[in-house]
Amino acid sequence: MPRFLLKSTYTVDGLKGLAKDGGTKRAEVVRKTIEASGGRMESMHFSFDEDDTYVLCELPDHKMAAALAIAIRAAGGLRVRMTPVLTAEEVDEATRVKSSYQPPGA
């Protein structure tokens, strides 16, 4: 299953909800949401940098990742970015794929 890094930043309303619910409850909500989408949450971390949360998860496909990001963003509590990520083994496989790409001027 493809892996994704979901990076999010809380809105003011989202921060109010986090302050009320706490981190453990929010992590459980995220886990259940990902599982309901047919995926699996590998980890969730909170931060106090440009992004407030980092979630590494598996989702069935890119359409489901987009649907999840849209639903989260539409709810209004978070601004999200969904980034596909690869394992080292997947990069190894990619490097063995032959491409007919020709650079400009070649």
Quote the pLDDT of residue 106: 78
Give the C-alpha distances (Å, rounded to integers) separating 42 from 4, 25, 66, 67: 10, 16, 18, 19
Strand partners, 58: 3, 40
The 10s digit of each residue's pLDDT in 66-100 is 999 999 999 999 999 999 999 999 999 999 999 99
Quote the pLDDT of residue 70: 96
The 10s digit of each residue's pLDDT in 14-66 is 999 999 999 999 999 999 999 999 999 999 999 999 999 999 999 999 999 99
E-assigned strand segments in 15-52: 40-46
Phi, psi of 4 (to 5 degrees): -140, 150
